[in-house]
């Protein structure tokens, strides 16, 4: 069943303290939804909760902020239970909790990789496992998973990050098939660079020069629309080069890998020459 109106809807948003998660929470609360925010940034969560309520002081919907580590299955179950306490059902779960780490695979530690997979993929998996029994019982509900264009491309120095985002993509595709006819929808979101704290972290994205192409508010607006339309794939790549690479990847993956690899090698040589 498509979720067309958000007034009184019960929504759970992981990564709700910042960036895309916070923008989704603001947009949905503004349309009358109850929002349960989960994030491991406790201070950010408090600020987010205050901001959301200050923007709509007359709303009767609830904002519940719960410090949560999405890698912990029990903590994820606890936020779903808090959402169920509102009126016994969950309409929408948006998984935005995520880590972005880059670097040559040679220098990327197994520990960093395991943590990124745990947050970006297992965090999503735990949400599905926890919310699904209720959604199945009510024959409705919607999941939104944040993948990335990296979940459709072959970006050098983001191999680990890409792996977590391809995992989200593969999971969502098979899950949609598994949930066929259940009344439960799944939207997978593939944005290019979004202006959030994630892309402004020093060093962590492999020292890449990143140009933001989208705001968190634009992504949130598109997500809300995609849920209303029960859209499966929300790809947001307002950049000719990225759009072209996505197309080439679709048509001929070998060619896309060669092009991305050659461009990367040229860039390394340019940097080396500048340093000489």
Ligand X SMILES: NC(=O)c1ccc[n+]([C@@H]2O[C@H](COP(=O)([O-])OP(=O)(O)OC[C@H]3O[C@@H](n4cnc5c(N)ncnc54)[C@H](O)[C@@H]3O)[C@@H](O)[C@H]2O)c1
What are the phi and psi torsion angles at 126 (to 5°)?
-60, -40
Question: Residue 238, interface with ligand X (CB under 6 A)?
Answer: no
**What is the distance between the alpha carbons of residues 24 and 37, in angstroms, rounded to a whole number?**
10
Contacts (CB under 6 A) with ligand X, residues 142-161: 146, 148
Q: Is 64 near ligand X (CB under 6 A)?
A: no
Decide if residue 40 touches ligand X (CB under 6 A).
yes
Binding-residue pattern over the window 6 to 25 for ligand X, x denoting contact by CB under 6 A: --------xx-xxxxx----
Range 176-212 burial, b when 16+ CB lie within 10 A, else e: beebeeeebbbbbbbbbbbbbebbeeeebbbebeeee
Q: 29, 161, 180, 190: which one is catalytic?
A: 161
* Cβ–Cβ under 8 Å, residues 112 and 160: yes
Between helix 42-55 and helix 19-30 the angle, nearest 10°, is 30
Binding to ligand X by residue 41, rule CB under 6 A?
Answer: yes
Find the length of the chain. Answer: 276
119 contacts ligand X (rule: CB under 6 A)? yes
* Min separation Cβ 197 and ligand X, Å: 4
Does 188 bind ligand X (CB under 6 A)? Our answer is no
Q: What is the dihedral of CA 95, 132, 35, 89, to 10 degrees?
A: 170
Nearer to ligand X, 142 or 169 (CB): 169
Asked whether position 124 contacts ligand X by CB under 6 A, the answer is no
Tell me, yes or no, if 190 is annotated catalytic.
no
66 binds ligand X (CB under 6 A): no
Give the active site residues. 161
Q: Which residues bind ligand X (CB under 6 A)?
A: 14-15, 17-21, 39-41, 44, 68-71, 96-100, 119-120, 146, 148, 191, 193-194, 196-199
């Amino acid at each position: 069943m498509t979720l067309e109106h958000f007034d009184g809807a019960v929504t759970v948003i992981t990564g709700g303290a910042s960036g895309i998660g916070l923008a989704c929470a603001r947009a949905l609360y503004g349309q009358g939804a109850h929002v349960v925010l989960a994030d491991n940034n406790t201070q950010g969560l408090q600020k987010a909760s205050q901001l959301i309520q200050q923007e709509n002081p007359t709303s009767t919907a609830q904002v519940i902020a719960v410090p949560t580590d999405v890698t912990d299955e029990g903590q994820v179950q606890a936020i779903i239970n808090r959402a169920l306490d509102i009126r016994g059902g969950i309409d929408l779960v948006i998984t935005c909790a995520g880590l972005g780490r880059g670097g040559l695979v040679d220098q990327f530690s197994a520990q960093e990789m395991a943590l990124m997979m745990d947050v970006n993929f297992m965090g999503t998996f735990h949400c599905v496992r926890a919310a699904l029994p209720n959604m199945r019982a009510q024959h409705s509900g919607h999941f939104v998973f944040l993948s990335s264009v990296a979940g459709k491309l072959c970006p050098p120095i983001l191999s680990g990050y890409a792996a977590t985002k391809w995992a989200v993509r593969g999971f969502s595709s098979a899950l949609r098939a598994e949930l066929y006819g259940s009344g439960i929808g799944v939207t997978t979101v593939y944005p290019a660079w979004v202006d959030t704290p994630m892309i402004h972290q020093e060093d962590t994205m492999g020292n890449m020069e990143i140009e933001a192409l989208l705001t968190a508010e634009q992504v949130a607006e598109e997500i809300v629309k995609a849920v209303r339309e029960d859209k499966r794939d929300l790809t947001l790549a307002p950049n000719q080069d990225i759009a072209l690479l996505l197309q080439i990847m679709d048509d001929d993956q070998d060619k896309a890998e060669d092009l991305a690899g050659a461009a990367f090698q040229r860039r390394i040589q340019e940097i080396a020459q500048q340093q000489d």
